[in-house]
Structure 1
Amino acid sequence: MSSSSDKNLSDQFIIWVIILTQFATPFMFSGVAITLPEMGRELHASAVALGLVESVYLGMSAALLLPIGRIADATDRATLFKIGLVGYSLCTLFISFLPSIELIIAFRAAQGAFGALLMATGMAIISQKIPPERLGKVIGLSVGAVYAGLSAGPLIAGWITAHYGWRAVYSLTFIPLMISTLLAVWALPSHWQPMKTRLDWVGSVCIFLAMGLLIYGSASLDSVWGIVGLVSGFGFMLLFFFSQTKVTLPLLDLKEMRANYNFSHALLTQLFMYVGAFGATFVLGLYLQSIQHFSPSEAGQTLVVGPILMAILAPLSGRLSDKFNKRILTTFGVSMAIISMSLALQLDQNSGLPLILAVIIFQGLGFAFFSSPNIAIIMSSVDASKYSLATALSAKMRALGMVFSMIIITLVTSVYLGKQTIEQAPDDYMQVLAITFSVFTGLLIIAWLFSASAIKARQQPDQVTANQ
């Protein structure tokens, strides 16, 4: 009895350590958007280059999530989680000393690679230790921690940037990340075993090249090589999906996804939700500081409203998903995001604070009611032996959504601004906003259709494959 009690206590502590890391990494990520205008002025970086600071991070994460998810299931999730946290922490520290935007972009790519290790394993470790009847609640706490980190990022990073400069955001954020690392190394036991299955190297290389070429091409449309890169990126993406139908152990089992209705629809809904909503915060951060002339601190205080709503309501949404139809909650969340984008289309250079806050509030409500139930659908739709892969696929769709959201922004910015800064062409940047938010609205409508169509589907509620 004592041994069982000790194990339960140890598991609970490990879960809270992971939840702490779920707070720490998005804290740094959300703070980046606030530092970008100040970083751009110091390093004389264009709007396109500032976009790459976010895009390469997301692209590297998206490129590596599936291979890492497959490796984690076959080796040891805890070991990979700890390696990811160590590397992520060190990259955060190094960025604070870098002298050029090019080096910062390179280290952000490395940070994204280590971030992929965290995203592919953290939720899988939690799902492995929590019984299905309490999974929604714990996922809600984890998602709430993510949004708490997102909410603290703009507020604290804005204050630090205003008083001590953008570099201090990275060096100070290293401290909680390092504390999380030490706790994870101490609390998470490793059980490494050699990988006995073969990794799909063809698919891994194809998805890596696709992400890299899409990001390069979207940022270089003023050159022939940029167009070639963009087209090649889409070509490698198609080649990746084709390769997954030809190998014995694919990274992405398309046949299994088609057979698992709940799983596939939840993943597709998540993809379009993030493509259509994620980039809005990045665009608004630049809009507030470069068009509305908010200080970094004021911009952070404004943007923090949405993540605060997410942090407060995501745990509630997780609890509701244990009791009610999860699809109704996800559809409601997407509906809130559509309202946010519709309001964002009304923004101009003279928009008042009430309209800006309305955009942020409805986006916060959207993600708060969408994320926890959708993750619960994904994790409860697969067998326990595939938790890491399901986590990686969930994170993959989220990261792909973020990447494509940023690619859309970078494409439109590259066409209308080129190498100009926002301050040099404010009217052109407002065109960027209008076109970007129009595209986002259309993508969110697609997400709504995926989510709503699954509400009354004749499918087992959640555990489609759990008992296989």
Structure 2
Amino acid sequence: MPEDLSAAVSAARTSDRTDKRPSEVRGGAQSKRLLLLCVSVPSFMINLDGNIVAVSLPSIGRALHADFAAIEWVISAYTLTFAALVMPAGALADRYGRKRILVVGLAVFTLASFLCGAAPTAVILNAARAMQGVGAALLLSAALALLSKEFQGAERAPAFAFWGSVIGIAITLGPLVGGVLTQTLGWEWAFYVNVPVGIVMIALSVRAVPESRDPDSAKVDVAGAGSFAAALFLLTFALISGNHRGWSDPLVVATLSVSVILFIVFGLVETHQARPMLDLSFFRLPTYVGANLAGLTYAAALLTMLTYIPLYFQGGMNVSPTTAGLMMVPMALPLFIVPRLVARYLTHWMTGRALLALGLTFVSIGLFALSALASAFAPGPMLIAMAIAGIGAGILNGETAKVGLSVIPPARAGMAAGVGGTVRFAGIVLGFAGLGAILFERISAFLDAAPIGPRGRDLSSASTFIASGDLSAAARLPGTSVALAHAGFAAGYQTLFAVAAVIALAGAMSSLWLIEAVAPSRRGTESDEIIPEFE
């Protein structure tokens, strides 16, 4: 049994030992072990799927004849529905039962994974990816709510450390498994691999997970969920469409404007709810705000790189999917190792504020180094820079959720878990679309400034091919050579990495400014002392 899981179970055994027979203690420990697996493996599936798909994107694009915008939607259709629905899914879990929503989410995710693998066109694939996001939102919000509800006091730190390590395993294996599956069996198996895991987890969850709900939960906030989902969809649509239609295009401007209006409507709706989907009063807590900003910047700056860096390797260095997956290991492996080291050596003497700031600083340093190295296409130094960023990600992976939930009453665990998931995946959606816009614009500006280069429609086509990593197709267009395509590709990624580094640095500064410096001995063990106003 992994050490983090062993520690969590040991803590549970100790807390359950008073006035109980040995057989009852053993049964309680086994139940806790199964429960921890049931809430961690769904997160494993979500992260494994995302990282498998990242390595498979070039193959998907070629097989389905998809351009850069369609490739963006393979990621965005999933993360958008995830980000838009994970918060109302948390409210559903609180109201109708966290176990029930977990099982429903697993079923939807598993079915959608099969449909993704069987998709004959990019449109159908993206629709199935959106369905996958619905299932992921349901299962993740329920899983985090169960984790927060069932593991209290001394159990919480090792439980969250195990959860973070499981995510690290998924992120570590994702590029490797994705590369091997794509190169040997085809990109479809990047989705089919979820089907047997999902079936097993449904059966285990039905047996091992206890039901729990918030007794004070109200009806689902349909108006809030609808306005938030529509606002986030329109914002993402505008960011992706702006690359191709132009930022002054009337449709893009109108979409952005309506998105802003809908976000305002969402805020107004939530202030008039007796039991809101998003309890805005929690945002009076600086620690909660700081932890969510850390999660947002971590997702936008680093988690998006798990998609962009494989594209860089396959496009700029012309490596195979398997090789690209292997080259992701220095960034991905720390997400498995570091959370365990943090739980064992750092949480006892470093505050949550210090850990989040430290993790984001490591991410920023690694990304700045990648920016400096982007034009050299030198794999050795880049792998070192990736490892530095990965160490920071390993510190952040479980810590952002733990710090945020530490100031929330257990009865609102579903809502708080939904907010945390929404923030993280909204960061991926907006970061991926925003960085994609920056990548496309930088490549276009570079090609436009070249003394001899593509012009007009050829410029737009060349920029699209280069941004998607298909440099050979770009080089066949009038005015574009292989050397110019590589130079434009490097310039685009140099800017992309630099902007992501600035985002991470801003997150580190906001963590130091907002998060309360709670003593390490209190974190996750005496949360009632931190939130007397909710008692």
Shorter-chain TM range is over 0.9
8 Å CA contact 1:408–1:436 kept in 2: the answer is no
Fraction of identical pairs, as percent:
21
User: Is the contact between residue 71 and residue 195 of structure 1 (CA under 8 Å) also seen in structure 2?
Assistant: no
Within the candidate set 429, 442, 446, 1:403 is matched to: 429
Matching of residues 237-252 of structure 1 within 5 Å: 237-252=263-278
How far residue 432 of structure 1 moved from its aligned partner, in angstroms, is 2.9
Q: Which AA in structure 1 matches 2:143?
A: G
1:322 is displaced (CA, Å) by 4.7
Asked if 1:99 corresponds to 2:120, the answer is: yes
Given that 2:214 and 2:411 are in contact with CA atoms closer than 8 Å, whether structure 1 keeps it comes out as no
The partner residue of 2:392 within 366, 373, 382 is 366
- Distance in structure 1 (CA, Å) of the matches to 2:348 and 2:519: 17
Conserved in 2, the CA contact under 8 Å of 1:96 and 1:168? yes
Query: Unmatched 5+ residue regions in structure 2?
Result: 1-19, 445-459, 475-484
Tell me which moved more, 341-350 or 193-202. Answer: 193-202
1:253-290: CA deviation from partner (whole Å, max 9, x where unpaired):
223321x2222221122212222222222111111001
SS at match of 1:263: helix
Q: What is the one-letter code of the residue matched to 2:513?
A: S
| 2:256 is aligned with 1:230 | yes
- Residue identity opposite 1:442 in structure 2: V
> 1:103, 1:452 → 2: CA distance?
44
User: For the residues of structure 1 that align with 2:190 and 2:504, how far apart are their CA atoms?
Assistant: 33
- What amino acid is aligned across from residue 318 of structure 1 in structure 2? A
Which of 390, 414, 433 aligns to 1:388? It is 414
C-alpha change, 1:458 and 1:148, in structure 2 (3 Å) is closer
Q: Tell me the number of residue pairs that the alignment of Structure 1 and Structure 2 aligns.
A: 467
Deviations 1:373-428 (A, max 9, x none): 32221222111111111211111111111111112123235545656323225444
Instruction: Give the structure 2 partner of residue 219 of structure 1.
Output: 240
Task: Report the AA paired with residue 296 of structure 1.
Answer: P
| Separation in 2, partners of 1:242, 1:26 | 33
Aligned counterpart, 2:506: 446
Comparing both chains, which one has the higher relative contact order based on Cα–Cα distances under 8 Å and sequence gaps of 6 or more?
1
Matched, 1:267 2:327: no
Please report how far the alpha carbon of residue 456 of structure 1 lies from its aligned counterpart in structure 2 after TM superposition. 6.4
- Which amino acid is 1:443 matched to? I
Q: Are residues 318 and 42 of structure 1, via their aligned partners in 2, closer, same or farther at CA, if it must alter by over 3 Å?
A: same
Contact between 2:287 and 2:515, CA under 8 Å: does it hold in 1? no
Gapped regions of structure 1 (runs ≥ 5):
none
Taking the TM superposition and a 5 Å limit, the aligned residue runs for 1:54-453 are 54-190=75-211, 197-221=218-242, 222-223=244-245, 224=249, 225-258=251-284, 260-319=285-344, 320-415=346-441, 416=443, 420-422=464-466, 423=470, 424=474, 425-453=485-513
Q: Residue 15 of structure 2 aligns with which residue?
A: none
TM-superposed deviation, 1:340: 1.3
Task: Kindly name which structure, 1 or 2, has the bigger radius of gyration based on alpha carbons.
Answer: 2
Kindly state the Cα deviation for residue 327 of structure 1 after the two structures are TM-superposed. Answer: 1.5
Structure 2 distance, partners of 1:34, 1:458, is: 40
Q: Distance in 2 between matches of 1:309 and 1:126?
A: 23
**Alignment RMSD:** 2.4
The TM-score, its normalising length taken from structure 2, stands at 0.82
CA–CA distance in structure 1, aligned partners of residues 510 and 392 of structure 2: 15
2:451 corresponding residue in structure 1: none
Conserved? CA contact 2:351–2:519, under 8 Å: no
Partners of 1:61 and 1:112 within 8 A in 2: yes
Distance in 2 separating the partners of 1:92 and 1:342: 36
User: 1:302, CA displacement in angstroms?
Assistant: 0.6
Q: 1:234 to 1:347 in 2, by over 3 A?
A: farther
Counterpart-to-counterpart distance in 2, 1:19 and 1:76:
18
When residues 458 and 308 of structure 1 are mapped into structure 2, their CA distance, relative to the original with a 3 A threshold, is closer
SS, match of residue 166 in structure 1: coil
